[in-house]
Amino acid sequence: MNHLLADIRGNLSHPYEIKVQTESGLGNAVLRGVRNASGDVIAVLDADGSHNPKYIPGMTELLGEYDIVLGSRYIAGGSSEDYRIRVFLSRLFCIFSKVILNLKVEDNMSGYIVAKKNVFSQLTLKPVGYKLGLEILVKSKGRFLVAEYPVCFEKRKMGYSKTGFIQGIKTIASILQLRLEA
């Protein structure tokens, strides 16, 4: 973990604050970090090393024009080093949620997010699972300008994947729950 924090620090030239939370559930941990953050910009990235912090400055630059910037594997310049089956399933979930939830972005399942802090305060978020970015996109109902920034989703450097059949079912259930709430 310390080497990942060093990577983040090494890629930022402006003041920053790093919050590492241990709450139950990734979405709840992110929301606690947002509440405790003192800055106006929030960056959410996985601590397993799959989201390279080198993209944060470029993503942050877009906040002059946009409210939310998603790190995207599925636009020109984006890529994934993940296993083919995981890329296939990710694309399948992105297409499914794009159709079911009427979303305009290609990588709507991305967990790599840079956003203005006020985005979080204007929404009532109740994270189910780990797809907080998807919930933000759905609940904002188009009131925030969203951009996608090309990133390479790297192979994880620590920890293990929780992806599996049960997580797939939970993801589908989360998408359908968001559809009911929309």
Partners of 149 in the β-ladder: 71
Averaged pLDDT score across all residues of the chain: 85
- The confidence score (pLDDT) of residue 20 equals 58
Number of domains comprising the chain: 1
Banded pLDDT at 5 (limits 50, 70, 90): very low
Mean pLDDT of 48-63: 94
Total-model pTM: 0.84
Give tens-digit pLDDT for 81-100: 998 998 999 999 999 999 99
- The confidence score (pLDDT) of residue 94 equals 95
CATH of the domain at 91: 3.90.550.10
Contacts 24+ apart (CB under 8 A), 61-67: 62/114, 62/147, 62/149, 63/114, 63/115, 63/116, 65/145, 65/147, 66/144, 66/145, 66/146, 66/147, 67/115, 67/116, 67/119, 67/144, 67/145, 67/146
Residues 99-133, buried b or exposed e (16+ Cβ, 10 A)? eebebebbbbbbbbbbbbeebbeebebebbbbbbb
Q: Which residue has the tokens 């996608």?
A: 148
